Structure 1
Amino acid sequence: MGNEFPVIETERLILREVTTEDAKDLFIYLSDQEVVKHMGLEPYQTIEGTGAEIKWYQSIYEEGTGIRWGITLKDSGRVIGSCGFLNRHPKHFRTEIGFELSKDYWGKGIAGETLEAVVEYGFQHFQLERIEALIEPENLASQRLVEKQGFIREGLLRHYEYTCGKFDDLYMYSILKEDLHKTDT
């Protein structure tokens, strides 16, 4: 990955690097049980705690295993969520995508606008063939979101992750580069 963190602009949003200055904004949504319940995280209790999340964003970018953009509205610049790639395997041309959004912005099409831009960017700039989304069966909103973007559910991964003291089943979704514009017709 290049040294310069890429910025993605959409109709309403600027997707940019998250910095320690954004910790307070991240805390607003990462301390919300409803936002984090499908992320395998306990809600953050302190603003300092969100610093660990920001450090993780920085480390995956530096290691080349992923990239996480802060979602900001053009008119405010405040981070209201994040989206990006993790567990990137350049050798296999695949990665996972993850996202979360502050509850105040649910149902406004922001997650869809973000996901579309990030998927497109990934296929264009990271030589990806496949992007995966691992989603808990109870997380119907995220399933609908990725299906709308053209992701296909491939199956259920039983007890795939151990988070917050329990084993989680996850649906495996994927979109291939060749699927990208099939949904446009």
Structure 2
Amino acid sequence: MDLIETSRLILRSLTLDDALKVEEYASDYDVAKTTLNIPHPYPEGGAREFITSILEAERNGKIAIFAITKKEDNSLIGLINITGTNANRRAEIGYWIGKPFWGKGYGTEAARAVIKYGFEELNHNRIYALAFTDNPGSWRIMEKSGMKHEGILRQHVMKDGRPVDLTYYAILLEEYIGEGAAI
């Protein structure tokens, strides 16, 4: 997989060596409550199992996942992924950032880089993302990444046994090109 470099970040392949940091950040309730797939409490050793399964999906071309690391010290601060290729040339991105790094623009920087990767390397036509409607930090990342709000999917998923709404954002290749690929 490709290495992606931004001004402050390096997005690199996820490895089993990342398990301790993934588990540390994913164990934080404030991180878990913003995602559909991170359980709380996070099971001990769960990150190794997660990484093993996601790397298998990556080998099968279903997803590309990156460890988000700070360039200055190579420390892992979160994860970001983009779904693999498909006949419709569309992909979903998903991400989370460890709580100590919230509000510093790292999520937006990583999302912009993966959107560029999705259009320029994976040849997608549409890239989209979803977030809980009560997670403004996530949908602000989408907006700052050039995505446009397309609507609310009412009671679309179950989280902690209750139906929750998702907000839906997307960017098209023509919009990405129209912005001079400057997102």
Normalising by structure 2, what TM-score? 0.90
Q: Once the 2 structures are TM-superposed, how far is the Cα of residue 44 of structure 1 from its aligned partner? A: 4.9
After TM superposition, the structure 1 stretch with the greater mean CA deviation from structure 2, 59-68 or 129-138, is 59-68
| Residue 98 of structure 2 is aligned to residue 137 of structure 1 | no
Partner of residue 149 from structure 1, selected from 126, 145, 157: 145
Change (3 A) 1:142 1:65: same
Change beyond 3 A, Cα 1:46–1:162: closer
The equivalent residue for 2:66 is: 69
* Equivalent residue, structure 1, for 2:154: 158
Residue segments in structure 2 that go unaligned for 5+ positions in a row: none
| Alignment partner of 2:115 out of 106, 115, 119 | 119
For 1:152 and 1:56, how far apart are their aligned partners in 2?
31
Structure-1 separation of matches of 2:113 and 2:146: 13
2:26 aligned with 1:30:
yes
User: How far off is 1:85 after superposition?
Assistant: 0.9
8 Å CA contact 2:126–2:171 kept in 1: the answer is yes
Percentage of pairs with the same residue: 33
Kindly state the Cα deviation for residue 164 of structure 1 after the two structures are TM-superposed: 2.9
1:164–1:59: structure 2 CA closer, same or farther, 3 Å change rule? farther
**Partner secondary structure for residue 40 of structure 2:** coil
Q: CA deviation at 1:181?
A: 4.5
Deviations 1:24-61 (A, max 9, x none): 11112100011121212223534511112212320221
Q: Distance in 1 between matches of 2:61 and 2:23?
A: 26
Q: Is the 8 A contact 1:19 1:54 kept in 2?
A: yes
**8 Å contact 2:61–2:85 — kept in the other structure?**
no
**Pick aligned residue for 2:6 from 3, 10, 29:** 10
SS in 2 for 1:150: coil
SS at match of 1:22: helix
The question of whether the paired residues in 1 share the 8 Å contact of 2:19 and 2:51 is answered with yes
Q: 2:40 aligns with which of 43, 60, 65?
A: 43
